[in-house]
Structure 1
Amino acid sequence: MQASLPTGASAHAFATHPGYRRMFAPDALTLGIFLPLRFFEGDMAVLEGQSALLADIDRQGFAAIWARDVPLFDPRFGDAGQVFDPFTYLAFLAARTQRVSLAIGSAIFSLRHPIDLAKAAVTIDQLSGGRLVLGVASGDRPVEFPAYGLEHSTRGARFAQSVAYFRQLIQPGAGPITSPLGQLSDATLLPRPASGAIPLMVTGSSQQSLEWIGTHADGWLTYPGSTQNVMGPRQLAEKIRAWRALIPGGGFRPHMTNEWIDLSEDPDHPRTPMNGGYVLKTGRKGLIALLTEWRDAGVNHAALGVQFSRRPAREVLQELAEEVLPHFPSHESVAPLRAPW
């Protein structure tokens, strides 16, 4: 590779990036919604009407829509993920929405070539007027790696190599690339990002050290830990502080987390772990308290999954929009770029 590898950027690098700026600001927390809105159990009919609800989410003012990247269904995980390919689906949603950020949580960089990842990502970024925020991960489903002809044990090295290659590809005036993943000269990637950059949000450890994440991530997406009381957010705060202490120059980079919720009709229902702690059942008051604790811990964006809620998705989203979102508004300082496609 080139002697000087691209590293994580400061918030200034994304000052004109509509997707980034809608989601992130220091000392503030915004809300996103993870897809799918209903748990997939073998019938595609469960996704009928989802895009209409996502258009509502856009109008209601949520900060982001998150699509998961799960190439293959492993029954041992019991979760088919987003089902649709996230790049294809977000391109579809770019035409159904106007303001909401389009986030992938997270693209498995260890499985695909960075040229294909960059081509798909920059295409969505252009189609949406600069609204793409790209979560990146090394992959947590071992069955996928031999299906791609790859060794699961090499995912950490491939992830770091792919991040470097991706960043070099989308840089203006990038020179030749020499990487274990390929050699590139006398050719460039088109199109370019709509606002000049695409933020890469590292998920979990992605088989890297905390020092590497501090240096190379444009932001960090981690699991929240315990959410039924304040102890989990306090532990999360320590993790965030340790990471931010390793950011070169100490500049702002955002932290994100997520939770699957079963929102009770009773606003006073206590925060109660369900499904072995995988789902949090709570009333809206408990949810607002949790989100406030996360914000105080240094979290800048919370992605909520409602697929396990027992109430209809439309009803849950409406309550979130009316009763929770006003406490954690999206940032409106940078409008999406014109996308006349």
Structure 2
Amino acid sequence: MRFGILLDHQYAPGDDLRRRLDETVEYVQHVRDLGYDSVFGIHHYLSSLSTPQPLPLLSRLVDHSGTMQLGTGILILPLGHPVHWAEEIATIDQMSGGRFVLGIGSGYRDVEFSAFGIERRTRVSRMTEALEVMQQLWTGEPVHHEGKHFTLDGVRCSVLPVQRPHPPVWVGANGPTGIARIARQGLPWLAPSNVRRNWAVGNLTDYREQRRAAGFDERDAVFPIHRDLCVADSADAAFAVAGDAVKRSYGEYVQYGMDFFESQWDAIKAKALFFGSPDDIAAKIQDFADAGFNHFVFRAQWLGLPIERSVEIVERFAREVMPRFRP
């Protein structure tokens, strides 16, 4: 069982970003020393919140993260060119000594696609083709590609990743069609944080069946999931610590057409969040692990929550929950 941290590097407009990023470095050092396995950054452009970009941030964290995996959770792949992504990611993989995990997704915010001049309806095909091109580039051989979105005429990637044939690729998706596509590709499906338990478990079961049907075995397979985490003396105590902050963070999504975060908040609060006592959290992890999930990536930061509270959460999890799942 592996445990990671999702950095929530989104801040109120006008916040002191240099201070917040320095806090992030210290937070990652703390997470490293507590024995976590991975740390991930998020990706958005033109957000309502000040959102530093993940690849520069992860580059800064290379020397502060020990042996943890570093990754994107997720990178909106359709918004960039595969040559750009391939060389940027290979560079970070080199800098980290082969610790990078490429989490990707197709995106959903209209403002991003409009600003880049990309038709939103093409996002899935662009993501699929971009990944195929990147994988070709990472071979180090000349790439000739004539596709729907990209054309390359014998170009060769100047930087190759340490990990061969390339860094691990996890793919986010929030619907059965996307999950089935990921299964047919044999790639790990990164389950989202805000979905209810039965949805996550049911879709993981379907994904695994479709993956096996496509000819992929499960030896060393990764089944990752995002969850929001707050460990306290009880569920009520956890919500007293972070309930307002997590609701505030999810409330930011409403302006992007995701109004169910407001209309269905009580259900999300009750069934999607890992908030509670150490025994409560351990039981939730065991339940999800029994269903097949084996890499939990926890967010313990939310809009307006002091970093000291986030540190307390990850410390208590490492002290009182993590050892139950380690030899």
With normalisation by structure 2, the TM-score equals 0.79
C-alpha displacement of 1:207: 9.3
C-alpha displacement of 1:120: 0.9
* Cα distance in 2 between the residues matched to 1:207 and 1:146: 26
C-alpha displacement of 1:117: 0.7
Pairing 1:117–2:111 present:
no
* Cα distance in 2 between the residues matched to 1:294 and 1:314: 24
Please tell me whether the aligned partners of residues 267 and 285 of structure 1 are also in contact (alpha carbons under 8 angstroms).
Answer: no
Pairing 1:203–2:172 present:
yes
- Partner letter of residue 43 of structure 2? D
* Cα distance in 1 between the residues matched to 2:184 and 2:296: 23
* Cα distance in 2 between the residues matched to 1:259 and 1:34: 9
Please tell me whether the aligned partners of residues 114 and 166 of structure 1 are also in contact (alpha carbons under 8 angstroms).
Answer: yes
Question: Match for residue 315 of structure 2?
Answer: 318
What does 1:252-291 align with in structure 2 at a 5 Å threshold? 252=219, 253-264=221-232, 266-267=233-234, 275=247, 276=265, 277=268, 279-291=273-285
Pairing 1:298–2:272 present:
no
Aligned-partner SS, 2:321: helix
* Cα distance in 2 between the residues matched to 1:250 and 1:217: 9
Question: Match for residue 73 of structure 2?
Answer: 105
Question: Match for residue 196 of structure 2?
Answer: 226
Which blocks of at least 5 consecutive residues in structure 1 are unaligned? Answer: 1-28, 331-341
What does 1:127-142 align with in structure 2 at a 5 Å threshold? 127-142=95-110
Which residue among 32, 54, 60 is the counterpart of 1:92? 60
Q: CA 1:235–1:131 in structure 2 vs 1: closer, same or farther (change >3 Å)?
A: same
- Partner letter of residue 49 of structure 1? E
Aligned-partner SS, 1:102: strand
Which residue among 124, 137, 140 is the counterpart of 1:169? 137
Q: What is the CA deviation profile of residues 91-134 of structure 1, one whole-angstrom value per residue up to 9, with x for unaligned ones?
A: 11012222010010111111100111111111000000000001
- Partner letter of residue 111 of structure 2? V
Please tell me whether the aligned partners of residues 268 and 285 of structure 1 are also in contact (alpha carbons under 8 angstroms).
Answer: no
Question: Match for residue 216 of structure 1?
Answer: 185
* Root mean square deviation of aligned Cα: 2.8
Q: What is the CA deviation profile of residues 152-184 of structure 1, one whole-angstrom value per residue up to 9, with x for unaligned ones?
A: 111122111111111111124354222233332
* Cα distance in 1 between the residues matched to 2:55 and 2:222: 23
* Cα distance in 1 between the residues matched to 2:84 and 2:225: 27
Which residue among 294, 307, 314 is the counterpart of 2:301? 307
C-alpha displacement of 1:32: 0.5
Please tell me whether the aligned partners of residues 233 and 297 of structure 1 are also in contact (alpha carbons under 8 angstroms).
Answer: no
* Cα distance in 2 between the residues matched to 1:232 and 1:319: 28
Q: What is the CA deviation profile of residues 20-51 of structure 1, one whole-angstrom value per residue up to 9, with x for unaligned ones?
A: xxxxxxxxx211011127x6222134444220
* Cα distance in 1 between the residues matched to 2:275 and 2:12: 21
What does 1:59-74 align with in structure 2 at a 5 Å threshold? 59-73=33-47
* Cα distance in 1 between the residues matched to 2:12 and 2:279: 31
Aligned-partner SS, 1:318: helix
Q: CA 1:185–1:268 in structure 2 vs 1: closer, same or farther (change >3 Å)?
A: closer
What does 1:153-164 align with in structure 2 at a 5 Å threshold? 153-164=121-132
Percent identical residues: 22
- Partner letter of residue 179 of structure 1? G
* Cα distance in 2 between the residues matched to 1:110 and 1:32: 25
Which residue among 26, 44, 56 is the counterpart of 1:52? 26
Q: CA 1:206–1:115 in structure 2 vs 1: closer, same or farther (change >3 Å)?
A: farther
Which blocks of at least 5 consecutive residues in structure 2 are unaligned? Answer: 248-264
C-alpha displacement of 1:61: 1.5
